[in-house]
Amino acid sequence: MSALQYRDIGAPLEIVDIARPTPGPGQVVLQVTAAGVCHSDLHIIEASAADYRFGPLPMTLGHEAAGTVAAVGPGVEHFKLGTPVLVYGPWGCGVCHECSYGRENYCTHPDGVRPPGIAVDGAMAEYLLVDSERHLIPLGDLDPIQAVALTDAGLTSYHAVKRALPRLGAGSFALVIGVGGLGHIAIQIIRALGAARVIAVDISPEKLDLARTMGADHVVIGDSAAEQTIRSITAGRGVDAVFDFVGSQTTAEIAGRVAGTHAEITVVGVGGGAVPVGYRRLAFEASVRSTFWGSRGELWEVVDLARTGRLQVEVETHPLADAAEVYARLARGEVLGRAVVVP
């Protein structure tokens, strides 16, 4: 079968022909119907040899996956052949304390979380091996191309917003930094779950247009005047919640400076920045957290939210043969919403 692989540190992405996987006990093989292109994949392929802490190479990329059940191993009981599904990506051990709550994203097993496309072969291929039927959720009548980004861009945003929900009541302001795959869904989740007015920041005017379409009340271009603009929108008070989907040093510092008293700052972006924390470094009572993906239960919740029609994922689709070029476009900031590869 064809697969898009990262084969060696620094090597270009390549479409190669590899063996189609067969399911072992408890495992499921999906025929992939859609695979999302996430910015985190760029962090994988841009990592130096010293910083590389992902799966052994060559590795098939793709950690946002939708498919139909094509083969099941012994002991798989709940999914019949042909069932359309979404894949929960942060595969944990399933039995540790965190996993017992469905928070496999924070699995404490020494082997850690082993997502497809990050630790083992992923979804940018015709077929995907899923380690357990526990990691599948029924797609129902949702369109796989529309829904595939819910498994990461949707789930990660949902988890971040849900944690900050006490700060998103009427009269509050939520700031979304970076209106890409994650950010444009996060705006809709804030609108669906809370009553906050949403301020969106991006460096691209097209992304700000998308933010408006998705329900942002205010859009701010991410230049040196952004901080002052955000201050004046909030009448000097600062915002109640910040979701930083860039996470660079620049955006983390802006997040810290525009956060008001009691604000909740969530750093989701993998840009390596740090929010300065200390006495009078932040507004009093402000707190900062970083998050990784979300729980199995939260994936059910965000998919249910999509079933109500309140989440629109902006997608552009591409064949597998063009996947390497799609990553290049993402790196140049040219993808609006989420790019989805359809093998």
Stretch 120-179 residues interacting with Zn ion (CB under 5 A) = 152
Residue closer to ligand NAD, measured from CB, 127 or 158: 158
Asked whether position 99 contacts Zn ion by CB under 5 A, the answer is yes
Token pair, residue 307, equals: 């079933």
CB 314 within 8 A of CB 209: no
Asked whether position 270 contacts Zn ion by CB under 5 A, the answer is no
Asked whether position 96 contacts Zn ion by CB under 5 A, the answer is yes
Among residues 180, 165, 109, 200, the alpha carbon closest in space to that of 298 is found at: 165
Q: Kindly calculate the radius of gyration of the chain based on its CA atoms and give it in whole angstroms.
A: 20
Among residues 75, 88, 96, 62, the alpha carbon closest in space to that of 27 is found at: 75
71 binds, among Zn ion, ligand NAD, none (CB under 5 to 8 A by kind): none
Judged by CB under 5 A, the stretch of 6-14, 108-116, 165-173, 294-302 that binds Zn ion is 108-116
1 binds, among ligand NAD, Zn ion, none (CB under 5 to 8 A by kind): none
Enumerate binding residues for ligand NAD (CB under 6 A): 38-40, 43, 152, 156, 177-183, 201-204, 207, 222, 245-248, 250-251, 268-271, 291-293, 330, 333, 335
Core vs surface per residue 261-271: b (16+ CB within 10 A) or e? ebbbbbbbbbb
Residue closer to ligand NAD, measured from CB, 16 or 331: 331
Residue closer to Zn ion, measured from CB, 55 or 260: 55
292 binds, among ligand NAD, Zn ion, none (CB under 5 to 8 A by kind): ligand NAD
CB 64 within 8 A of CB 89: yes
Residues 6+ apart with CB under 8 A from 243: 157, 160, 161, 164, 174, 175, 176, 177, 183, 186, 190, 266, 268
Asked whether position 92 contacts Zn ion by CB under 5 A, the answer is yes
Residue closer to Zn ion, measured from CB, 99 or 129: 99
Report the residue from 16, 18, 93, 165 that binds Zn ion according to the rule CB under 5 A.
93
Residues 6+ apart with CB under 8 A from 213: none
Stretch 2-41 residues interacting with Zn ion (CB under 5 A) = 38, 40
109 binds, among Zn ion, ligand NAD, none (CB under 5 to 8 A by kind): Zn ion
- Closest distance of CB 214 from ligand NAD, Å: 12
Residue closer to ligand NAD, measured from CB, 144 or 269: 269
Concatenated DSSP letters of 116-179: BTTTB--SSBSEEEES-GGGEEE-TTS-HHHHGGGGTHHHHHHHHHHHTGGG-STT-EEEEE--
Report the residue from 107, 129, 147, 255 that binds Zn ion according to the rule CB under 5 A.
107
- Residues lying near Zn ion in the complex (CB under 5 A) are found at 38, 40, 92-93, 96, 99, 107, 109, 152
